[in-house]
Amino acid sequence: MKIAVSGKGGVGKTTITAALALTLAENDINVLVVDADPDANMASALGVVSADQDSIHTIAREKALIEERTGAKLKEYGQIFKLNPEVSDIKDTYAYIHRGVSLLVLGAVEGGGTGCACPESSLLRALVQDLVLHKNDLLLMDMEAGIEHLGRATAAGVDIFLVVVEPGQRSVDSVKRIAEMARQIGIENIAVIANRIRTAEDERFIRESLPGLDIVGTVPFSERLMESDRDGRSVTDGMGEEMKRIFSELAKTLQQKVLDRNAMR
């Protein structure tokens, strides 16, 4: 199962991704989480203590690796570099394992914008394509608010493009833009998680604002999740039994959607 998770900044997509990853790992499933958000916070959400986070590699900062695999020096313009560098061993070499979850942090290309034609971008795109198309791990990819690391080559390998929304017009508008960008590269299997729901009116607002999109689950607002972030604990450590049940059911729903989709192929 390959799931890309997106949404407007601040809607809780990192929390949702980490909660799903830890829930699945507790069931002895090999889970790989890719932190593809430039504002990388996945390690903290998974409960990696601050003292250990410095030992986690960020691929975009691995200068020697990038130069070796792409055949080009960084920060030197006008070079020819490999567009399909060898990346098949990167996951096993650089992933950080915590509570049964393998974490791979991509990082941001310094000074690069969307579509940056540079060695770092070439390596990251090739790595994402390898993880989506050629690895057997259950993959959850925490993305920035867009589809920067996905291209047409990998779109077909994503089982679900999961967008997180909270009850607010700006968040809803962001979901619509992200869904449209995803469709433009061939992703049709788009699903939505409504997060931080306080009332029935919150849920009704989201459902009425996003007609035609598949809302696969709702997650209630939780002070305990906010406290776990403040205290540096994993998102699941801050959950009560009811919240754990919600994420367990959500994980089962997503797995069933993938099975149903594969059966229809």
Contact between 229 and 41 under an 8 Å Cβ cutoff? The reply is: no
For residues 137 and 116, the model is more confident at: 137
Backbone φ, ψ for residue 139 (5° rounding): -105, 130
Closest CA to 126 of 73, 75, 87, 80: 87
Distance from C-alpha of 63 to C-alpha of 119, rounded to nearest angstrom: 10
Predicted local distance difference test score (pLDDT) of residue 73: 81
User: Is the confidence at residue 75, as pLDDT, over 90?
Assistant: no
Q: How far is the CA of 150 from the CAs of 48, 133, 139, in angstroms?
A: 27, 12, 14
User: Is the confidence at residue 260, as pLDDT, over 80?
Assistant: yes
For residue 165, the one-letter residue type is: V
Span 180-198, pLDDT tens digits: 989 888 888 999 999 999 9
User: Is the confidence at residue 172, as pLDDT, over 50?
Assistant: yes
CATH number at residue 78: 3.40.50.300
For residue 178, the one-letter residue type is: I
Predicted local distance difference test score (pLDDT) of residue 114: 44
Pair of tokens at residue 35? 């932190």
Number of folded domains that form the chain: 1
Domain that holds residue 222: 2-264
Q: Which residues pair with 2 in a beta bridge?
A: 139
Distance from C-alpha of 261 to C-alpha of 25, rounded to nearest angstrom: 23
Residue indicated by tokens 């869904």 = 179
Q: Model confidence at 230, in pLDDT bands (50, 70, 90)?
A: confident
Q: Which range among 93-107, 116-130, 186-200 shows the weakest confidence by mean pLDDT?
A: 116-130
Contact between 134 and 168 under an 8 Å Cβ cutoff? The reply is: no
Predicted local distance difference test score (pLDDT) of residue 242: 95
Pair of tokens at residue 131? 């993880």
Closest CA to 142 of 46, 206, 236: 46
Q: What angle do CA 192, 234, 27 make, to 5 degrees?
A: 70
Q: Model confidence at 113, in pLDDT bands (50, 70, 90)?
A: very low
Contact between 214 and 191 under an 8 Å Cβ cutoff? The reply is: yes
Q: Model confidence at 116, in pLDDT bands (50, 70, 90)?
A: low
Distance from C-alpha of 180 to C-alpha of 177, rounded to nearest angstrom: 5
Q: Model confidence at 144, in pLDDT bands (50, 70, 90)?
A: confident
Q: How far is the CA of 139 from the CAs of 72, 103, 157, 186, in angstroms?
A: 30, 10, 11, 19
For residues 76 and 157, the model is more confident at: 157
Span 41-51, mean pLDDT? 93
H or E element in which residue 232 lies: none
In the DSSP assignment, the letter for residue 238 is: G
pTM of the model: 0.91
Span 26-48, mean pLDDT? 92
